[in-house]
Amino acid sequence: MEKIGTGEGKDLVDVSSAVGGGVQDIYGEDHATEDQLVTPWTVSVASGYTLLRDPHFNKGLAFTEKERDSHYLRGLLPPVVLSQELQEKKLLQNIREYKVPLQKYMALMDLEERNERLFYKLLIDNVEELLPIVYTPTVGEACQKYGSIFSRPQGLYISLKEKGKILEVLRNWPEKTIQVIVVTDGERILGLGDLGCQGMGIPVGKLALYTALGGVRPSACLPITIDVGTNNEKLLSDEFYIGIKQKRARGQEYDELMEEFMTAVKQNYGEKVLIQFEDFGNHNAFTLLEKYCKSHLVFNDDIQGTASVVLAGVVAALKLIGGTLPEQTFLFFGAGEAGTGIAELIALEMSKQANAPLEETRKKFWLVDSKGLIVISRKNSLQDFKKRWAQDHEPIGDLLGAVKAIKPTILIGSSGVGNTFTKEVIEAMTLFNEKPLIMALSNPTSQSECTAEEAYTWSKGRAIFASGSPFDPVHYQDKVFVPGQANNAYIFPGFGMGLVISGTIRVHVEMLQAASEALAGQVTEENYEKGMIYPPFSNIRNISAHIAAKVAAKAYELGLATRLPRPQDLVKYAESCMYSPVYRGYR
């Protein structure tokens, strides 16, 4: 057995003199966020054939001649030694050969299971090309077909069968220091509905982005699926479905399972583990967030992450559409967890800027659900989370009628229903706005309220457009428009990293506002000239470091940070904590 060294042929080095009470190393590994003062290199690595089958330490053909001798790899590899850069070049060429996005997804997941560092190097260096593969829109198709493409388990599956022994299940996971958990019950996967146990693709994809974009160590990330059944008849009759085949559990049985899960997580991993709720149904998403926000470090990306990234886009767009935030009128198509979460965060920011009561600023927000405009006459039949948005207005049954009556400056779609921002709706928006802001946020691409081309063409090039799924640049009347992507991946990796590096114990709404401010501040004049209201993803690690710094600063300001003393330069500290996918030298 050999030990990992800090570089080829070098001895073990104690690097426990870290900023802020942790451990740092020359590779930037995120040991700075761990409490125990240990030398990270005192880790044993298996040798020979076993080493080649360990994705955490395998380097494939990049093992040096010396490493092949010291780790009994002679003869187990072809004689050539390749650099990580050459391995990356070869893999990228291979992935580009696939014409079907799902095949690219499967190839990347296979790579992650073989060689973890090469997977992250490939993803980090080619983030704009590969993000739509590991995340939306391709991950949606992967979830739909997860049973058929399932090969090796990723993450933990906690089903009703494990009720009463969830703590034991958590202890089965090999990594003991977990900083971020992404958990789903699979009920509302993107805009695709109830996919049950096959929703695991979402936590796996989200945590890959936590590492690639935010710098959280892969070993500190844990994807979890809570399987309480599914109401999807197609899956229940599918012989390849990987979950329990029963109708979805509700009420007391569901609540007891979630309570046991939340208690076990805190007991096993401590107070500072971030639990990110992902793609729960509306009725559970709000309840769980409200129930556990005071006792756990919890974050709902659909409610809070989406809100934060949209607020950032709106703030940035003001430079193009003109006026201040309190002067805008918002119309939302879709009043679920995303729509109401966005509206609430923007209303809070508007209240802060205008120094006005929140109840007053909410009057600038109008929401349309499947039954039409949310108005006071409907209040008795509304779900609780919608009631605060009911306004005094005559009922209007359709979106076009609402646009004409409300005359919004900003139209936001979070309905999960595609092709609903019609030509008539876009044209109506341009009648009373010189530059209307149109945000078609529903995922995946097939569920987008309109395409970028439709928004620019129907508005005659006047719309400022952003979407949830990626769209290619649009050529219209000798001008190239680059659509913005209001992708949660801008926010949650940096947001989570900020919580981790500060040792925050609770999420506060001001942290979400700080994250939005940091993201909006990264949009350059060059971006604005192309009609962009979000910076390019090619710079995402730097963006995440700035978001992490702002979030951590707010945590210290609010007295919620536990990692003391506070580092002087939080941006540099965040960068120093980020995981590096560069290969390590082994002794």
Instruction: Enumerate the active-site residues.
Output: 135, 206
| Tokens of residue 513, six digits | 């506002």
Q: Which residues contact 121 (CB under 8 A, 6 or more apart)?
A: 84, 88, 581, 582
d(CA 338, CA 384): 15
The DSSP H or E segment spanning 440 is strand 437-440
d(CA 392, CA 394): 7
Bridge partners for 375 per DSSP: 391
Cα four-point dihedral sign 380, 383, 387, 389 = negative
Contact (Cβ atoms closer than 8 angstroms) between residue 469 and residue 443:
yes
Residue 334: name the closest of 290, 292, 303, 380 by CA.
Answer: 303
Phi/psi at 348 (5° precision): -65, -45
d(CA 316, CA 522): 9
Alpha carbon distances (Å) from 204 to 77, 155, 511: 30, 7, 25
Q: Tokens 């003001």 sit at which residue? A: 318
Q: Tokens 């704009």 sit at which residue? A: 128
Phi/psi at 36 (5° precision): -75, 135
d(CA 336, CA 347): 16
Residue 541: name the closest of 578, 500, 573 by CA.
Answer: 578
Q: Are strands 372-373 and 365-369 parallel, antiparallel or unpaired?
A: antiparallel
User: Quick one: how far is CA 492 from the chain centroid?
Assistant: 5
Contact (Cβ atoms closer than 8 angstroms) between residue 576 and residue 24:
yes
d(CA 562, CA 505): 8
| Tokens of residue 52, six digits | 């080649």
Q: Which residues contact 259 (CB under 8 A, 6 or more apart)?
A: none
Bridge partners for 373 per DSSP: 368
| Tokens of residue 581, six digits | 């996918």
d(CA 217, CA 215): 6
d(CA 248, CA 68): 52
Provide the angle, in degrees to the nearest 10, between the axes of the packed helices 101-114 and 127-134. Answer: 100
Contact (Cβ atoms closer than 8 angstroms) between residue 583 and residue 117:
yes
Q: What is the dihedral of CA 97, 101, 106, 109, to 10 degrees?
A: 100
Please give the single-letter amino acid code of residue 538.
S
Please give the single-letter amino acid code of residue 384.
D
d(CA 12, CA 179): 26
Coil, strand, or helix at residue 564?
Answer: coil
